[in-house]
Amino acid sequence: MAGIPGGKTLAVIVAAVVLTIYGWLNSERETQVTQPASMGVTSSPIPEFTYTNQEGKRFGSEELRGSVWVANVIYTRCPTIASPMTANMARLQEKLRKAHLDAELVSFSADPLFDRPHVLKTFADRLRVEFSNWNFLTHNDEPELHRFLKTAFTAPVERQTSPADDGPPQIRHSSRFYLVGKDGRVMGAYNGLSPNYDQLLQDIRSLE
């Protein structure tokens, strides 16, 4: 009988862990959308922006005006999700090509002071990225870029280690793909680690 309270405590701990994992998975679940009206449109277009792409050229709102585009947030020293997300974006790019859909792809760096244009290009080249409709963006002001990402996409992005610390940084960032309409409004968010490509392609087609 003396072992029962301990057993109850273990059961409570296990239940708490299960609920925590379920909550995390649920928070990462992609937004299921079937038509533009159900995509959870933002109240206003995302802020105007101009950053620097992997070629060292200015790129931003002006170049994207009138286009449907898909965005994500990565950084090249990310030890976990950035490379898989970039590979998944590359798969989306190929599916867009085969479906004859016209959409731009944009990857924002959460570690812009390290991810200078040549670093982004090397990272993308390693993953065999095709740049015709895909830009990787960096900026000279990390806090400003982080504020933009939070405002534009309500995307969690937070440096958890100092830029001066030795070793790879720890930067919390979103694992979602964000679909942006021609008017600059965020129309939907999708799990970037396990995308529902059919749904995403359908939603892009509905916005063309």
Q: What sign results for the dihedral spanned by CA atoms 205, 49, 31, 112?
A: positive
- Note whether 110 and 74 are within 8 A (CB): yes
- How far is C-alpha 93 from the chain's CA centre? 15
For helices 197-207 and 82-98, give the axis angle rounded to 10 degrees: 60
Check whether 78 is labelled as a binding-site residue: yes
173 known member of a binding site: yes
Q: How many CA atoms lie within 13 A of 49 on its CB side?
A: 23
- Annotated binding-site ranges for Cu cation: 78, 173
- Annotated binding-site ranges: 78, 173
